[in-house]
Structure 1
Amino acid sequence: MQALFILLVWSVLIALGLSAPFVLGLAYIWVDLFRPQDVVPVVGQLISISMITAVLAVGMYLVADRRDPPRLGLLTVLMMVWAGWITLTTTWALFPQDAWWKWDWAFKTVVFTALLPFVFRSRIQIEAALMVLLCAVAAHVLPYSIKGLISGGAYDRPLGLIAINAHWGGEGSTLATYAFACLPLVAYLQRHSLIAPATGIMRYVYMAAPLLALAGSFATFARAAVIACLVWAALTWWQSRRKSLLAVAFVAAAIAIVPLMGERWVARISTTLEPSQEESAHTRLIVWGWTIDFANQHPAGGGFNAYHANFIVTPGPDGVDIITEARAFHSVYFEILGEHGWIGLGIFAALLAVMFFDMWRVRRASRGDPELEWLGDLARALSHAMLIFMAGGAFVGIAFYPLHYYLFAFAVCARAALQRARRGVAVAPAATDPGADPAVAASRHLPAWRIRAAGTKDPARRTAHGQG
């Protein structure tokens, strides 16, 4: 029954995509993040759902949707350089079979997300992509939240839709990082959504999102959850105009949630400040030290899954040596350093730096312009989401999982939307009947970026959004 329902949802998206090609891009985001083939494994046995969706999305774009592509920018160029470098390092990988297996999905992640800005051009399309991303993530976080509130959660135990401790939806640290990284995007939609404005029941959905993310993330017992939560709270507090009230709300939420997690949660999280007192955290530090030495000897990296080469002997407390062998990197940065060397780490750092710079430029260009307020807030939300990912990702090896690559893609979309606005090309949906009201009809003679965004008090202008 589950398989039939998932295949029905996928089929509907594919059918809609044949008439509106950007929907196929939405379908790929849903498949990539929700992972129906892992939620219901029989789906993956019946059909190669990911490959078919990707081929259709690219094919329909090339055949029917090559309108107003974004200008080539440094961020896109760096994405292609990054894809090329990880391919090159795979040719000299220490463990070729494992390396090419990981390259197969990592390369697809990088390349396909680099193509998404060509598909999502208008404000509505960008918003639809954000909503699909958030719904896919929420589908995995929500079961953790419910079970965490009921039972208090547990470490290294799948509590979500994926029954194994794998992929982002089944691995606690990754799920916690994703949950908090998505909250700035939720806040953006709460303020600017045209598809699901914060009225009626949606108002309460937006308000509940931080609490559900908090409960679901803490239920994983992952230390990364606390780090990501602190960064999200700091960014939210800094941007708030009611700092005292928000600080009280944060304290109240902590007082309510922490006791529900139980003493085991407190005992595990307390080791964050003293990693040498906990075996898992201490081993992680040892592996990070080995990775730096390894990268110094292999500046171009050891290829994907190079961690299989580590063999570390350390003295134990009872005088017996402790052997650490083939332990994963457990960090985005050390994963990149070990697999792709100092050169790869430099390319990835450049990607982050260029994204933040581009989003700063978008915010600066849209400041003071009510028509582009949504774009400035989107740029800020993407920057904050990436900062939260960077904090949580420091403790889990997810350098080639999809979320942050989608953030790169949406950053390119935001920059392209600003460029289109400057050229007078519309970036939001058109009025259904522009001749029905004189004020709306008059707006046709104005540049599209000067048409007031939805949410204004002028009802005539609420519908005056030109389609990109």
Structure 2
Amino acid sequence: MLMRDLLMLLIVVPGGLLALRHPFVGIMMWTWISMMNPHRLTWGFMYYAPVAMFIGGCTLVGLLLSREKRSPFVGAPAWWLVLLVLWMCVTTAFAFDPADSMIQLERVLKIDLMVLVTLMLVRTKREMMAFAWVIALSIAFYGIKGGIFTLLSGGGSRVYGPLGSYIEENNALAVALIVVIPLLRFLQTTLTSVWQKHAMTVAMVLCGMSVLGSHSRGGLLAITAMVAVLWWRGRNKVLTGIIVLIAGSAALSFMPEHWWARMDTISTHEDQSAMGRLNAWIMAFNIAKENFFGGGFSIYNSYVYGMYAPDPTHVVSAHSIYFHMLGEHGFVGLFIYLGLWISTWFAASALRKHGRRQAETEWCVELGSMVQVSLVGFAVGGAFLSLAYFDLSYNVMALTVAAKAWMHCRGWESEREFHSPRRVLGLPLFFGDKLAR
């Protein structure tokens, strides 16, 4: 048991010290810790250790001392993010419960600040590739583990994320995996070895099984939308469609009867979960309709529900990224939030459109395409979950903006050809020397 804590300590402390000199390493560790929550896999003193605070502090100090940085305002999504942060500060001042709302605001500001730091430090193709691997593997770890668990348990038990994290709930983990699967596909296109490509295929399949194993109805809708977009983007739609139908039928036939019974309630409003969501959505709309600044972060209590909800006794969170923003930050907050993701979509479109112009930027085409697939999955799955502030989607945005800025300034002309991933973080990797060519 203690070995996990010691291993975590041996990773975090040297990593933080290294971040003082190389803040890029720090932001990679921050991304890993904030999304994967590896300290929650320990059983002793590291479980509640402030590892994110330590790494974040070291990274910020390293950023101040480093000259290898740029302005974070390198694309429209970054400006939308800053505007959203400013608006959330305003709505907190007018919140129903300013004290409790301030606690959540501080948490959100930490996430958004580090996203802007990421945009300052992720500048080269090498750094973007490393960032993409960290994002994907941080979440895929639970997908691979959960997929194996689903297969071994016959789909009878639900898959959950790490305790105390944004993806602790089964539904949240499902949507996070749906966002990550397209990124795994992008990374697969950068691999050259046959066994590496096959290993990535297995990882994607296991992540898909984990989504089914989460027993998430929103996850099923989101993965259906994601697969539909992937099929539409494919070159050979007939062959791809046949493969999808066969693989999908095999995966669905594996799931037990009570899984099917739960999925059958998608089109009905009979269960408590669906009725609770509807009740929360109506409450959020009523708050925004009567309060220009929304209600602030702290609106999910019996007092607020008694004033704005049809059923004041059924108190739950918004369970929707859209109604989450609407209830907490009003129509203006929802507009800004949608502007953030629409601008990210167009940034990804620019990667697809302009990446074909030269050989050095061809990888941007695949990245832009897969980011859009991820956004579709997030838009559909997020409609049923309170994931409006989770790091993952913002990190995908940062990766997209960084790639577009790199392509716009012809970054390949000012950096060395990246031949070995072993130099990405100064640690040995198994992916092969031609990973990012």
TM superposition score normalised by structure 1: 0.83
1:143 aligns with 2:145: yes
Looking at structure 1, the residues matched to 417 and 93 of structure 2 have their Cα atoms a distance apart, in angstroms, of 45
**In structure 2, what residue type is equivalent to 1:420?**
C
- Equivalent position of 1:318 in the other structure: none
**In structure 2, what residue type is equivalent to 1:342?**
F
Greater CA drift, 404-413 or 278-287: 278-287
Which aligned pairs between 1:53-452 and structure 2 lie closer than 5 A? 53-69=55-71, 72-153=74-155, 159-160=159-160, 162=162, 164=163, 166-192=164-190, 197-274=191-268, 276-308=269-301, 309-311=304-306, 324-421=313-410, 424-426=413-415, 428-429=417-418
Looking at structure 2, the residues matched to 337 and 61 of structure 1 have their Cα atoms a distance apart, in angstroms, of 35
Deviations 1:217-266 (A, max 9, x none): 11111111111111110111011122222222222222222233201110
* Partner SS for 2:386: coil
Greater CA drift, 48-57 or 64-73: 64-73
Aligned-pair distance for 1:341? Answer: 0.5
Does the C-alpha gap of structure 1 residues 464 and 339 become closer, same or farther in structure 2, counting only changes over 3 Å? closer
* Partner SS for 2:166: helix
Are the counterparts in 2 of residues 310 and 327 from structure 1 also a CA contact under 8 Å?
no
Looking at structure 2, the residues matched to 220 and 233 of structure 1 have their Cα atoms a distance apart, in angstroms, of 18
Aligned-pair distance for 1:114? Answer: 1.8
Looking at structure 1, the residues matched to 361 and 367 of structure 2 have their Cα atoms a distance apart, in angstroms, of 10
**In structure 2, what residue type is equivalent to 1:296?**
K
- Equivalent position of 1:453 in the other structure: none
- Equivalent position of 1:445 in the other structure: none
Looking at structure 2, the residues matched to 170 and 27 of structure 1 have their Cα atoms a distance apart, in angstroms, of 20
Aligned-pair distance for 1:345? Answer: 0.4
**In structure 2, what residue type is equivalent to 1:237?**
W
Looking at structure 2, the residues matched to 21 and 463 of structure 1 have their Cα atoms a distance apart, in angstroms, of 23
Looking at structure 2, the residues matched to 160 and 205 of structure 1 have their Cα atoms a distance apart, in angstroms, of 23
Does the C-alpha gap of structure 1 residues 203 and 284 become closer, same or farther in structure 2, counting only changes over 3 Å? same
**In structure 1, what residue type is equivalent to 2:397?**
F
Are the counterparts in 2 of residues 142 and 216 from structure 1 also a CA contact under 8 Å?
yes
Looking at structure 1, the residues matched to 130 and 98 of structure 2 have their Cα atoms a distance apart, in angstroms, of 39
Structure showing greater radius of gyration is 1
* Partner SS for 1:169: coil
* Partner SS for 1:133: helix
**In structure 2, what residue type is equivalent to 1:389?**
F
Are the counterparts in 1 of residues 35 and 391 from structure 2 also a CA contact under 8 Å?
yes
Looking at structure 1, the residues matched to 280 and 387 of structure 2 have their Cα atoms a distance apart, in angstroms, of 16
Aligned-pair distance for 1:66? Answer: 2.9
**RMSD (Å), alpha carbons:** 2.6
Does the C-alpha gap of structure 1 residues 283 and 397 become closer, same or farther in structure 2, counting only changes over 3 Å? same
Does the C-alpha gap of structure 1 residues 429 and 17 become closer, same or farther in structure 2, counting only changes over 3 Å? farther
- Equivalent position of 1:26 in the other structure: 28
Looking at structure 2, the residues matched to 86 and 272 of structure 1 have their Cα atoms a distance apart, in angstroms, of 33
Are the counterparts in 2 of residues 271 and 278 from structure 1 also a CA contact under 8 Å?
yes
Are the counterparts in 2 of residues 140 and 169 from structure 1 also a CA contact under 8 Å?
no
**In structure 2, what residue type is equivalent to 1:363?**
R
Looking at structure 1, the residues matched to 161 and 341 of structure 2 have their Cα atoms a distance apart, in angstroms, of 31
Does the C-alpha gap of structure 1 residues 297 and 42 become closer, same or farther in structure 2, counting only changes over 3 Å? farther
Aligned-pair distance for 1:106? Answer: 1.1
Aligned-pair distance for 1:208? Answer: 1.1
Looking at structure 2, the residues matched to 73 and 313 of structure 1 have their Cα atoms a distance apart, in angstroms, of 39
Q: Tell me, which stretches of 5 or more residues in structure 2 are unaligned?
A: 422-432
Q: How high is the sequence identity, in percent, across the aligned residues?
A: 24
Are the counterparts in 2 of residues 71 and 416 from structure 1 also a CA contact under 8 Å?
no
Looking at structure 1, the residues matched to 92 and 39 of structure 2 have their Cα atoms a distance apart, in angstroms, of 27
Looking at structure 2, the residues matched to 422 and 27 of structure 1 have their Cα atoms a distance apart, in angstroms, of 24
Are the counterparts in 1 of residues 8 and 39 from structure 2 also a CA contact under 8 Å?
no
Does the C-alpha gap of structure 1 residues 134 and 464 become closer, same or farther in structure 2, counting only changes over 3 Å? closer
Deviations 1:379-413 (A, max 9, x none): 22222212211111000011011111111211220
- Equivalent position of 1:319 in the other structure: none
Looking at structure 1, the residues matched to 418 and 72 of structure 2 have their Cα atoms a distance apart, in angstroms, of 18
**In structure 1, what residue type is equivalent to 2:267?**
L
